[in-house]
Amino acid sequence: MSIRCYKTLSDITAIGFDLDDTLYDNAPVLHRAEQKLREHLAKYFPKTIGMTFQHWFEIRQLVVAKQPALANDVSLTRVKTLTRGLINLGYAQSAATDGAHTAMELFLTWRNTIDIPVETHQTLAKLATKFRLFAISNGNASTTSLNLDQYFEFALHPSINIPMKPAGDLFTLAQHQLALPSDQILYVGDHPIADIIGATNANWQSCWFNPSKSRLNHRRNSLLLPTIEISQLGDLAQLC
C-alpha cells in the first residue's frame, strides 16, 4: 500500500468522504435497485413493461428542463420522472403520484442494501480515533441505512436548493459545521471533478481514490491536482 503525493500534506483535523464508489462499489448496487424498480412497476403498472431506459431518460430530461434545479436532487428527480412517465402512459394523476412515491421507497431500500467492505469499516474505525470524519455525497445513499453514521459527525447531500459537487455550497456548509480552517480538512473521493476539483476550489486538501489507477485528465494543471492519491482505501490508515 502507498500514498502518492502531488502536494505537501499539511496537518489534518477532519477527513470528509464521498460515499458511492469511494467507500464501496456502487455500480452493482444501482443495477440491482433499477431491476427491482422495473419489476415493481411491471407488477403494479403493467403499461410500463415496454418502457426502456431511454424512454425514462428522455422523460427525466424533460422534467429537469422545466425545473433545472431538480437535477441536484436525484431522489426528487426520480419521483417527478416516475410520476410524469406514469401519467404519460394514461394512469390517473393520483395513482401516478402515489405509485411514484411507493416505487421510490422500494428503490431506496435496495439502493441502500449494500455489503460494505470490511476494509472500509476497518479504515474508518481507525481514522475515527484520530480525526473528525464526515461525508458529502451527490447521491442518495443513507449513512444510517448503511451503518456508516457510527463513524461520521454528519453527512451532507445536495437538494433542490443546494447544488451538487463540485459547486462550493456543500463544502462551505461542511466547513461551517466543522468550524475549522480549510487547510485542516482533507476530502477523499473517486471523482476527479466533483470531488477533487470541488475540494480544491474550497481550499481543502484532497485525496483522489483511484483503484483502477487511471490517468488524471487534468493532471497537467498543477492547481487542480489532488494533494495525494491512493489506490486502496486502507492506504489512509497510514495517516494515523
Confidence of residue 224 (pLDDT cuts 50, 70, 90): confident
Name the segment(s) of the chain with CATH classification 1.20.120.1600: 28-111
pLDDT, tens digit, for every residue of 99-157?
A: 999 999 999 999 999 999 999 999 999 999 999 999 999 999 999 999 999 999 999 99
CA atoms of 128 and 137, how far apart (whole Å): 19
195 tagged catalytic = no
pLDDT of amino acid 219: 56
pTM for this one?
0.93
Q: What is the CATH number of domain 4-25+117-239?
A: 3.40.50.1000
Q: Which of 11, 18, 25, 190 is catalytic?
A: 18
Mean pLDDT computed over every residue of the chain: 95
Q: Where in the chain is the domain with CATH 3.40.50.1000?
A: 4-25+117-239
Sheet with 185-189: strands ordered across: 4-5, 228-230, 205-209, 185-189, 14-17, 132-136, 155-156
Residue pointed to by grid coordinates 502507498: 2
Would you say how long the chain is, in residues?
240
CATH of domain 28-111: 1.20.120.1600
Q: How far is residue 28's CA from residue 62's CA, in Å, rounded to a whole number?
A: 27
- Residue of 67, 71, 98, 65 lying closest to 82 (CA atoms): 98
32 pLDDT above the threshold of 80: yes
pLDDT, tens digit, for every residue of 33-51?
Answer: 999 999 999 999 999 999 9
